[in-house]
Amino acid sequence: MDENETQASAGENEGSEKPKTAKQLEKEAKKAAKLAKFNEKKAKAAEKKPTDGQSQKDKKPKKVEEKKVITYDIETPAGEKKNVAVELPAQYSPKYVEAAWYEWWKKEGFFKPEYGRNLDEPNPKGKFVMVIPPPNVTGTLHLGHALTNSVEDAICRWHRMKGRSALWVPGCDHAGIATQVVVEKKIKREEGLTRHDLGREEFLKRVWNWKNEKGNFIYHQLEKLGSSLDWDRVTFTMDPGPIEAVKEAFIRMHEDGTIYRANRLVNWSCTLKSAISDIEVEKKELPGRTEIAVPGYNEKVECGVLILFSYEVEKTGERITVATTRIETMLGDTAVAVHPKDERYKHLVGKMLVHPFANRKIPILEDEFVEMEFGTGAVKITPAHDPNDYEVGKRHNLPFITIFTDDGYIKEGYKHFTGMKRFEARKAVLESLKDAGLYVETKDNPMVVPICSRSKDIIEPMLKPQ
């Protein structure tokens, strides 16, 4: 195409454009007006903006007005009705509204089931009785207590409004070991003494003093919440009434066979010299060899290792190698177990092993709980200090030998180990196995160690009457 043809074509295209409609022109005009307005605002904002020379410090800070707390200052004797004839404050004030009412409610007996009626006569509208879940005397109430208390209070007040004889019993709980630990720490911190230094009677006296101090503050908090509790019936879980009721309940259940007494493994804290519940046991995961600080020991205790050692088979001179994470408990071994299908040990089943540090022989037996692939496939059995071994011991009628005292020392009858602390014995047993030529090796072993949440002691499974 030559130049003339190109120009002609362009002219044709220009001539072919359609003219804009009135609606399109109006739309474009509106857009232009909006854009002009936006640019005008932008220019004004730029004019108001402080220049670089102006300091931001020149701006005056906004005054924050402190709200005045309105209080009820009219003198009202305790137990007398609040003066409601005066003009109320313009703004709502909890301090003003709540003041002086509670003591009057208590004095009038509004929270007692006897209010307005004789309890000897049955209430045709029925009755409602609720015991407060007793807060632990170890501390003070928190937000969770306030929440549940408000719900309970609303329920109790609703029953009163329905005309029923309503009783909500207040109280607090002794919290058992938790309170003992708190009081012990307080005495140790302030006086440098233990409960053993004080003696049983004096220590119990200190616990009761602690209870009175903390318990009274908890009751004060409940009153501040406006709880409609009957304070003439306040109960502590170690009061004579509850104690006798618990004794009576256990005696009745024992007599009708609902409960019985037997030796069972418990979570034992050698520091507290007490069993603790499963909920008070923390599980500490170890990736392998780890040193843990334990109360009563100057040096940290090595955990997270698997120690292999051997027992000699009686008369044959053969050896069977076992593995354990708690080498000190081998003093309480009463058997070695292998799997019934493990061909490696078939010829040894029924034979006796010689215990190197105790005057006894222990059998080699078969049990399906053994994992053939783990360790050597042979497992030392300590029924009195391990939950799995406990079950094996029951199945095979093995002796249950407790090797520790309640405070964690090796009992009589174990040669030079007697009187050692359990983790000192751990080192001593290992060295003695090496001296006897029975030690094989030590490996890293990821494991979980149970820790007492109260004392931070390593939990020792112990056989106790339950």
CATH of the domain at 349: 3.90.740.10
Asked whether residue 142 is domain-assigned, the answer is: yes
307/449 same-domain check: yes
Question: Which of 124-128, 180-184, 375-379 has the weakest average pLDDT?
Answer: 180-184
179/109 same-domain check: yes
- Distance between CA atoms of 385 and 459, rounded to whole angstroms? 11
316/168 same-domain check: no
Q: What is the mean pLDDT of residues 14-37?
A: 73
Which of 195, 227, 247 terminates a domain? The answer is 247
Kindly indicate the confidence band of residue 52, based on its pLDDT and cuts at 50, 70 and 90: low
| Alpha-helix residue ranges (DSSP H) falling in 49-176 | 94-98, 101-108, 143-161
234/308 same-domain check: no
Q: What is the mean pLDDT of residues 443-451?
A: 94
According to DSSP, residue 111 is labeled T
According to DSSP, residue 458 is labeled B
| Alpha-helix residue ranges (DSSP H) falling in 256-395 | 387-395
For residue 251, pLDDT beyond 60: yes
292/418 same-domain check: yes
By residue count, the chain amounts to: 466
Asked whether residue 199 is domain-assigned, the answer is: yes
Asked whether residue 323 is domain-assigned, the answer is: yes
Query: What CATH number has the domain bearing residue 119?
Result: 3.40.50.620
213/325 same-domain check: no
Which of 221, 247, 273 terminates a domain? The answer is 247
Which of 247, 267, 300 terminates a domain? The answer is 247
Q: Please answer whether residues 259 and 253 qualify as being in contact, where contact means their C-beta atoms are separated by less than 8 angstroms.
A: yes
Asked whether residue 451 is domain-assigned, the answer is: yes
370/437 same-domain check: yes
239/311 same-domain check: no
- pTM, full prediction: 0.64
Residue scoring higher pLDDT (421 or 85): 421
For residue 101, pLDDT beyond 80: yes
Would you say the C-alpha torsion 450, 456, 460, 465 has a positive or negative sign? negative
- Distance between CA atoms of 282 and 414, rounded to whole angstroms? 31
302/347 same-domain check: yes
- Distance between CA atoms of 163 and 259, rounded to whole angstroms? 41
Asked whether residue 120 is domain-assigned, the answer is: yes
Kindly indicate the confidence band of residue 8, based on its pLDDT and cuts at 50, 70 and 90: very low
Kindly indicate the confidence band of residue 1, based on its pLDDT and cuts at 50, 70 and 90: very low
Which region, left, alpha or beta, applies to residue 172 given φ > 0 means left and ψ of -120 to 50 means alpha?
A: beta
306/178 same-domain check: no
- Distance between CA atoms of 222 and 193, rounded to whole angstroms? 34
pLDDT at 61: 62
Burial of 392 (0-12, 13-18, 19+ CB in 10 A): buried
pLDDT at 44: 75
Asked whether residue 42 is domain-assigned, the answer is: no
233/287 same-domain check: no
Asked whether residue 213 is domain-assigned, the answer is: yes
400/294 same-domain check: yes
Asked whether residue 48 is domain-assigned, the answer is: no
Q: Which domain holds residue 135?
A: 94-247
Name the domain count of the chain.
Answer: 2
